[in-house]
């Protein structure tokens, strides 16, 4: 079924797929698909071809995810900022997903190269993202994976939201209307999603919109820390710094979207109503201006913004955020209150014969045995969202190993999920 074209036998390029598409260069690789540009033999139109290896996807339980992606995209064909799906084909071993080709590539690649945007260019992309998400929310579909790799540009520079692979259709909701799958990308992920509790997906998308707008205007992510507990603390305390050039109105919107409490967080629909958002809505010249702006910036701006896109794309594997970790440390979200974790840490320490030391007020417990010192730090990120970090503060390797493993198993009872 998949035959090599006689004209260009090199590599995969030139391969004719199912007698309909000629395969071109590779655009990228995702966690379960390879993406190539392809040309329709009958119309000459360029498309993007997502090639999914069924063997791999079935092994890792990915098939439902793909089916969901297709279902969700099919229902969202009428929005200009939602990437279109043309056709789905399958052989015994592969699924071919033919989608609209976003010739402009990833928006964030541009940002990495050229730095932050001016306010009107940023607003234009923000309008396009919010309008696509609001369209989806109306249909009961949430994206849940708004991240740099999924925000593409077509040849005119219009934003295209791709990849509803993690989106949840209404029928995937639990009876209380809340979602239960943890997914997304840490730097863009709302605190309640990281906590893996039931959450309102539309509000989680609103959070990601807030991060997106901040990044466009600032040129860096609002919450960034090699240490995930420190990052949680920053999120909870809304600890991020606006660079001086961000306007008052834009700050106010970002502030309301980055509300750690989903109940009081501004929704995507609310943001659309704001005067800042409405300004120059649908004025296409912004997009053209953007390209000129980027060209100019490229010439004048030698400083490349340090986006850590690798850490942004690590999915929910929070360990991807931790660099150069030397000693043993583990983090978890807890089933119990912050005080509950502190109490448990003290109990475990006593039970296992550790010296227990608790600092007044602070939610920190020190545990010592022999030469090993372990610190348990507890944080309440938002109401009901408790994160704890257990780490070896001092010790000697061999001894440390035994003390560490006996301690860790004891915590299991109060752990909702481990993060590394
Ligand atoms: P995930 O597996 O979580 O979806 P991902 O978004 O990086 O991660 P893919 O959706 O498989 O993975 O896409 C891989 C890369 O291919 C993207 O990052 C993007 O750069 C490129 N790409 C995907 N779809 C298109 C498209 N329609 N047009 C142009 N480039 C695309
Ligand atoms: Mg993707």
The closest residue, in CA terms, to atom 9 on ligand 1 is 30
Task: Please give the distance, rounded to the nearest whole angstrom, from the Cα atom of residue 28 to the centre of ligand 1.
Answer: 6
CB-CB neighbours of 295 under 10 Å:
11
Q: Write out the two tokens for 233.
A: 């603390």
State how far the Cα of 309 lies from the Cα of 113, in Å rounded to an integer.
12
Which CATH class for the 327-418 domain? alpha beta
Average pLDDT over residues 372-382: 81
* pLDDT reported for residue 353: 93
Tell me which residue of 124, 126, 123, 104 sits closest to 113, measured CA to CA.
104
CA of 166, nearest ligand number: 1
CA of 49, nearest ligand number: 1
Task: Please give the distance, rounded to the nearest whole angstrom, from the Cα atom of residue 166 to the centre of ligand 1.
Answer: 13
The closest residue, in CA terms, to atom 23 on ligand 1 is 35
* pLDDT reported for residue 25: 94
Q: In this predicted model, what pLDDT tens digit does every residue of 228-259 receive, in sequence order?
A: 777 778 888 888 999 999 999 999 999 999 99
Active-site hit among 145, 163, 200, 286: 145
Q: Which atom of ligand 1 is nearest to the CA of 30?
A: 12
Average pLDDT over residues 345-366: 87
Instruction: Name residues contacting ligand 1 (CB within 6 A).
Output: 27-33, 35, 48, 50, 83, 99-102, 106, 149-150, 152, 162-163, 165
* pLDDT reported for residue 59: 59
Tokens 């396009």: give the residue.
Answer: 128
Every domain of the chain with CATH number 1.10.510.10 lies at 105-284
Angstrom distances, CA of residue 91 to CA of 1, 2, 88, 226: 8, 9, 11, 43
Q: In this predicted model, what pLDDT tens digit does every residue of 290-325 receive, in sequence order?
A: 444 334 433 333 222 222 222 222 222 323 222 333
Task: Please give the distance, rounded to the nearest whole angstrom, from the Cα atom of residue 147 to the centre of ligand 2.
Answer: 9
Q: Are 373 and 395 in contact (CB under 8 A)?
A: yes
State how far the Cα of 64 lies from the Cα of 278, in Å rounded to an integer.
38
* pLDDT reported for residue 61: 63
- % of the chain with per-residue pLDDT over 90: 34
Least confident of 98-107, 264-273, 287-296, 401-410: 287-296
State how far the Cα of 405 lies from the Cα of 250, in Å rounded to an integer.
48
Q: In this predicted model, what pLDDT tens digit does every residue of 61-105 receive, in sequence order?
A: 666 666 666 766 677 778 899 998 888 777 778 888 899 999 999
Q: Which atom of ligand 1 is nearest to the CA of 50?
A: 11
State how far the Cα of 273 lies from the Cα of 143, in Å rounded to an integer.
21
Residue 394 half-sphere exposure toward CB, CA atoms < 13 A: 7
* pLDDT reported for residue 351: 93
Q: Which atom of ligand 1 is nearest to the CA of 147?
A: 6
* pLDDT reported for residue 69: 64
- Residue 117 CB partners (closer than 8 Å, separation 6+): 111, 125, 216, 217, 290, 293
* pLDDT reported for residue 345: 94
Q: Which atom of ligand 1 is nearest to the CA of 315?
A: 3
Task: Please give the distance, rounded to the nearest whole angstrom, from the Cα atom of residue 162 to the centre of ligand 2.
Answer: 6
Instruction: Mark whether 145 is an active-site residue.
Output: yes
Higher pLDDT, 255 or 330: 255
Pocket test residue of 25, 27, 86, 165 for ligand 1, highest count of atoms within 8 A of CB: 27
Task: Please give the distance, rounded to the nearest whole angstrom, from the Cα atom of residue 163 to the centre of ligand 2.
Answer: 5
Grouping H, G, I as helix, E, B as strand and the rest as coil, residue 312 is: helix
> In terms of DSSP bridges, do strands 94-100 and 85-90 run parallel, antiparallel, or are they unpaired?
antiparallel
Highest mean pLDDT among 68-77, 204-213, 220-229: 204-213
Every domain of the chain with CATH number 3.30.200.20 lies at 3-100
The closest residue, in CA terms, to atom 11 on ligand 1 is 30
The closest residue, in CA terms, to atom 10 on ligand 1 is 30
The closest residue, in CA terms, to atom 7 on ligand 1 is 30
> DSSP string covering 139-206, please?
TT-B-----GGGEEE-TT--EEE---TT-B-GGGS-TTS-B----S-GGG--HHHHTTS-B-HHHHHH
Task: Please give the distance, rounded to the nearest whole angstrom, from the Cα atom of residue 150 to the centre of ligand 2.
Answer: 5
Q: Which atom of ligand 1 is nearest to the CA of 33?
A: 11
Q: Write out the two tokens for 193.
A: 């999603």
Mean pLDDT of the chain: 76
Pocket test residue of 163, 311, 313, 320 for ligand 1, highest count of atoms within 8 A of CB: 163
* pLDDT reported for residue 327: 62
Least confident of 52-56, 205-209, 267-271: 52-56
The pLDDT of residue 359 is above 60: yes
CA of 108, nearest ligand number: 1
Question: Does pTM surpass 0.75?
Answer: no
Tell me which residue of 224, 227, 185 sits closest to 325, measured CA to CA.
227
Tokens 């239960």: give the residue.
Answer: 180
Average pLDDT over residues 109-121: 88
Q: In this predicted model, what pLDDT tens digit does every residue of 88-98 receive, in sequence order?
A: 777 778 888 89
Fold classified for 3-100: Phosphorylase Kinase; domain 1 (3.30.200)
- Residue 180 CB partners (closer than 8 Å, separation 6+): 174, 196, 198
Straight-line distance from the first to the last Cα atom of the chain, in angstroms, rounded to the nearest whole number: 43
* pLDDT reported for residue 212: 93
Q: Are 134 and 268 in contact (CB under 8 A)?
A: yes
Pick 105-284's CATH classification: 1.10.510.10, 3.40.228.10, 1.20.1050.10, 1.10.3720.10.
Answer: 1.10.510.10
């Amino acid at each position: 079924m998949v035959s090599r074209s006689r004209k260009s036998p090199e590599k995969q390029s030139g391969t004719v797929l199912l007698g309909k598409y000629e395969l071109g260069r590779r655009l990228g690789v995702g966690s379960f698909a390879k993406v190539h540009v392809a040309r329709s033999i009958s119309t000459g139109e360029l498309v993007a071809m997502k090639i999914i290896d069924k063997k791999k996807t079935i092994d890792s339980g990915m098939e439902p995810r793909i089916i969901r992606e297709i279902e969700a995209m099919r229902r969202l064909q009428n929005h200009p900022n939602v990437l279109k799906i043309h056709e789905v084909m399958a052989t015994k071993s592969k699924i071919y997903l033919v989608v609209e080709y976003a010739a402009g590539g990833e928006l964030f690649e541009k940002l990495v190269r050229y730095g932050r945007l001016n306010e009107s260019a940023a607003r234009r992309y923000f309008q396009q993202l919010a309008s696509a998400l609001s369209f989806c929310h109306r249909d009961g579909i949430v994206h849940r994976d708004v991240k740099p790799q999924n925000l593409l540009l077509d040849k005119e520079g219009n934003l295209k939201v791709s990849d509803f692979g993690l989106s949840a259709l209404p029928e995937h909701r639990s009876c209380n209307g809340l979602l239960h799958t943890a997914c997304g990308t840490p730097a863009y992920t709302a605190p309640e999603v990281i906590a893996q509790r039931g959450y309102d997906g539309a509000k989680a998308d609103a959070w990601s919109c807030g991060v997106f707008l901040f990044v466009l205007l600032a040129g860096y992510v609002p919450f960034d820390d090699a240490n995930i507990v420190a990052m949680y603390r920053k999120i909870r305390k809304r600890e991020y710094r606006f660079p001086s050039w961000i306007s008052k109105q834009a700050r106010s919107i970002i502030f309301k979207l980055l509300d750690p409490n989903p109940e009081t967080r501004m929704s995507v629909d609310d943001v659309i109503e704001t005067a800042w958002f409405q300004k120059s809505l649908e004025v296409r010249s912004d997009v053209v201006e953007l390209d000129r702006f980027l060209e100019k910036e490229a010439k004048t701006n030698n400083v490349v913004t340090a986006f850590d896109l690798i850490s942004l794309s690590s999915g929910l594997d929070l360990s991807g955020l931790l660099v150069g970790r030397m000693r043993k440390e583990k983090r978890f979200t807890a089933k119990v209150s912050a005080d509950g974790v502190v109490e448990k840490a003290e109990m475990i320490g006593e039970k296992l014969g550790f010296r227990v030391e608790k600092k007044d007020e602070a939610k920190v417990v020190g545990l010592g045995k022999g030469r090993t010192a372990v610190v348990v730090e507890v944080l309440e990120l938002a109401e009901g969202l408790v994160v704890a970090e257990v780490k070896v503060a001092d010790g000697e390797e061999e001894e440390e190993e035994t003390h560490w493993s006996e301690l860790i198993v004891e915590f299991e009872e109060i752990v909702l999920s481990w993060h590394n």
